[in-house]
Chains A and B, each alone.
Chain A
Amino acid sequence: MTPSPDDPPPLLRTWNRLYALVLGVLLLEIVVFWLVTGAYA
Chain B
Amino acid sequence: MTALDWLVLVGSVAFIAIYGTVRNARVSTAQDYLKGGDLRWPTIGLSIMATQASAVTFLSVPGQAYEDGMRFVQFYFGLPLAMVIISAVFVPMYYRMRVFTAYEYLEQRFDVRVRVLAALLFMMGRGLAAGISLYAPAIILSALLGWSLNAMNVLIGAVVILYTVTGGAKAVSQTQKQQMVVILAGILVAAVVIAANLPVSVADATTLAGALGRMEIIDLSLDPNSRYTLWSGLTGGLFLSLSYFGTDQSQVQRYIGGRSLTESRLGLLFNGLFKIPMQALILFIGVLMFAFYLFEKPPVFFNEPTLEAVRQTEHADELAALEARWDEAFEARRAQAEALARADTPEARAGLQAAQAEMDGLRDEAKALIRQAVPTAELQDGDYIFLSFVLAWMPPGLVGLLVAVILMAAMSSTSSELSALGSTSVVDLYKRLVRPDADEAHTVRMSKLFTVSWGLVAVAFATFAALLDNLIEAVNILGSIFYGVILGIFLLALFFRRVRATPALLAAIVGQVAVVGLFLASDIGFLWFNLIGCALVVGLALCFQAVGGALRQLKGDTP
Binding site for B on A (CB under 8 A): 1-5, 7, 9-10, 15, 18-19, 22-23, 25-26, 29-30, 33-34, 36-37, 39-41
In the complex, A7 Cα to B258 Cα: how many Å? 14
Residues in B neighbouring A26, C-beta threshold 8 A: 77, 80-81, 272, 276
State in angstroms the CA–CA spacing of A8 and B84 once bound together: 15
Say yes or no for B502: interface residue by CB 8 A criterion.
Answer: no
Q: Is B269 an interface residue (CB 8 A)?
A: yes
Q: Confirm or deny: B319 has a beta carbon within 8 angstroms of a beta carbon on chain A.
A: no
Q: Beyond A30-B230, A37-B215, is A22–B265 a contact (Cβ under 8 Å)?
A: no
Q: Which A-B residue pairs are the 6 nearest by beta carbons? A: A40-B210, A40-B215, A33-B217, A26-B80, A3-B95, A19-B84
Q: A22-B83, A30-B230, A39-B215 are in contact. List 7 more A-B contacts (CB 8 A).
A: A1-B257, A2-B95, A3-B92, A3-B96, A7-B261, A29-B280, A33-B70
Identify the closest chain A residue to B96 (Cβ).
A3
Chain A contacts of B320 at CB under 8 A? Answer: none
Central interface residue in B73, B215, B256, by most chain A CB within 10 Å = B215
Residues of chain B with a CB closer than 8 A to A36's CB: 215, 217
Can you report 25 A-B residue pairs in the complex whose CB atoms are below 8 A from each other?
A1-B35, A2-B95, A3-B92, A3-B261, A5-B95, A5-B261, A10-B262, A10-B266, A15-B87, A15-B88, A22-B84, A22-B273, A23-B81, A25-B273, A26-B77, A26-B276, A29-B277, A33-B70, A33-B218, A33-B280, A34-B218, A36-B217, A39-B215, A40-B215, A40-B216
In chain B, residues 137-152, which have Cβ atoms closer than 8 Å to a Cβ of chain A?
none
CB pair B80 A4 closer than 8 Å: no
How distant is the Cα of A22 from the Cα of B210 in the complex, in angstroms?
A: 29
Q: Of A2, A15, A33, which is within 8 A of B265 by CB? A: A15
**How far, in angstroms, from A30 to B265 measured CA to CA in the complex?**
24
Shortest CB-to-CB span from B61 to chain A, Å, is 16
A29 / chain B contacts, CB cutoff of 8 Å: 276-277, 280
How many residues of B are in contact with the other chain, CB < 8 A?
Answer: 38
Distance between A23 CB and nearest chain B CB, rounded to angstroms: 6
Indicate if B201 sits at the interface (CB-CB under 8 A): no
Question: Shortest beta-carbon distance, A5 to chain B, in Å?
Answer: 5
With A1-B35, A1-B260 as known contacts, state yes or no: A23 contacts B84, CB within 8 Å.
Answer: yes
- Contact A23–B207 (Cβ < 8 Å): no
Flag if A30 contacts B81 (CB, 8 Å).
Answer: no
Given A10-B266, A40-B215, A19–B261 Cβ distance below 8 Å?
A: no
Contact B269 A18 (CB under 8 A): yes
Which of B87, B217, B230 counts the most A-chain CB atoms under 10 A from its CB?
B217
B206 at interface (Cβ–Cβ under 8 A)? Answer: yes
Chain B facing A: main interface SS? helix
The interface residues of chain B lying within 8 Å CB-to-CB of A9 are: 262, 265-266
Known contacts A3-B92, A3-B261; A37 and B216 CB within 8 A of each other: yes
Cβ of B442 under 8 Å from chain A: no
B435 on the A face (CB < 8 A): no
Known A-B contacts A19-B88, A37-B216, A41-B216; A1 and B258 likewise in contact (beta carbons under 8 Å): yes
Residues of B within 8 A of A39 (CB): 210, 215
CB-nearest residue of chain B to A24: B80
| B88 neighbours in A (Cβ, 8 Å) | 15, 19
Return the chain B residue nearest A29 by Cβ.
B276
Please determine whether B80 and A25 come into contact, CB atoms closer than 8 angstroms.
yes
Residue of A nearest to B217 (CB): A33
- A1-B98, A23-B84, A26-B77 known; A37 vs B217 contact (CB < 8 Å): yes
A41 to B272: give the CA distance in the assembly, Å: 29
Contact with A along B273-288 (1 / 0, CB 8 A): 1001100100000000
Interface string of B197-213 (1 = CB under 8 A from A): 00000000011001100
CA distance A39 to B260 in the complex (A): 45
Interface residues of B in 437-476 (CB under 8 A from A): none
CA distance A22 to B391 in the complex (A): 38
Contact of B206 among A18, A23, A25, A40 (CB under 8 A): A40
- Could you tell me the distance between the alpha carbons of A2 and B80 in the complex, rounded to whole angstroms? 25
Task: Give the distance in Å from the alpha carbon of A25 to the alpha carbon of B84 in the complex.
Answer: 12
Are A5 and B92 touching (Cβ within 8 A)? yes
- Min Cβ gap A35→B in Å is 9
- A18 and B70 CA atoms in complex are apart in Å by 28
B265 and A40: CB pair below 8 A?
A: no
The CA of A41 and the CA of B260, in the complex, are separated in Å by 47
Nearest CB on B from A14, distance (A): 12
CB pair B84–A4 under 8 Å, yes or no, is no
Q: How far is the CA of A24 from the CA of B210 in the complex (A)?
A: 27
B216 touching A4, Cβ below 8 Å: no
Chain B residues with CB below 8 A from A41, complex form = 216
Check B73 against A33 for contact (C-beta < 8 Å): yes
Give chain B interface residues in 189-241, CB to chain A under 8 Å: 206-207, 210-211, 215-218, 230
**Cβ contacts B66-87/A at 8 Å (1 or 0 each):** 0000100100010011011001
Q: Which residue of A lies closest to B258 (CB)?
A: A1
